[in-house]
Amino acid sequence: MADQLGSGTVAGVPAEGGQLSEASTDWSAPEPFHGRTVSWVAVSLIMLAFLTGGLGLILGPLWWLFWASVGLAAIGALLALSTDIFDDWY
């Protein structure tokens, strides 16, 4: 019969600090980071463009409003890419 691990243990990991150990009392959490202002502006532009474009399709369709919204979404996307929005991680 093969060697089997007991309940709640992992091979190669000591029992100390494992699943059954006492909870840590270190409550120091990292400072929250909610993104840069320019990132919020870019996302807000894109969201506004999608909402306006959707309304343009519902209310008519008003093609000029739809295509203006597509242009606004493109401007927001270029702003997001040019300011490195994907580096706004926690």
The pLDDT value given to residue 62: 96
| pLDDT > 60? residue 88 | yes
Instruction: Give residue-wise pLDDT tens across range 17-49.
Output: 555 556 556 667 777 778 889 999 999 999 999
> For the chain, what percentages of helix, strand and coil (3-state, to nearest 5) are there?
50, 0, 50
The pLDDT value given to residue 55: 96
> Per-residue pLDDT averaged across 55-77, rounded?
96
Mean of pLDDT over the chain: 82
Residue 69's CB: how many other CB atoms inside 10 A? 21
